[in-house]
Amino acid sequence: MAEQVATNVHWHDHSVTSEERKRLKGHKGCVLWFTGLSGAGKSTIANTVDHKLHALGKHTYLLDGDNIRHGLNKNLGFSAEDRAENIRRIGEVAKLFADCGVITLTAFISPYRVDRDNVRALLPEGEFVEIYVKASLETCEDRDPKGLYKKARAGEIKGFTGIDDPYEEPENAELILDSDGKGIDELADEVVAHLNQKGFLSL
């Protein structure tokens, strides 16, 4: 898609600061970036973490890959260029949520390191939490909750991550979840424990 550069735009400072918004909520904002193959369990784990944090009285919002493509990014396909733009847009949205003290969960395959690193660079140091939901291709194909691997193997879907398009594993993820060997609830508890340990659940 052709790049269009905005002109005649100026940054406006807010009267209410990010710190004041966070004090109102009683905890810090951050972006929990769940990445992994289709079928690894990203959305399910993120939903469970969201539920657990909500039960603790924390302000959260979940941005899910499929849901975002129904609205904000419905004009994007799955080429490398469109994937990059998909992640760029959601990174900017997630940054806004985190800035006002919302613990923002995102569940996207986001297969390319450079795109994930670009989102990390948008946020203040420490506010981007990369969570690699690690599951083998065999496990994901066995699960195949949407029937996508079957279609990709049959040649009905081109450029499918893990089959004919690469997935680049995180090299320095803050958290690695063993989706092959552990259950959803246990993995979600690991995420909540990490947030508590790093001080995100309070000020």
Please report, in range form, the residues annotated as the binding site. Answer: 36-43
Rg (CA), the chain: 17
Which run of H or E residues covers position 132? strand 128-134
Rounded CA-CA distance 20/9 in Å is 26
SS3 197: helix
Would you say 29 and 22 are in contact if contact means Cβ atoms under 8 Å apart? yes
Would you say 39 and 162 are in contact if contact means Cβ atoms under 8 Å apart? no
The amino acid at residue 164 is D
**Which residues contribute to the annotated binding site for ATP?**
36-43
Catalytic residues: 110
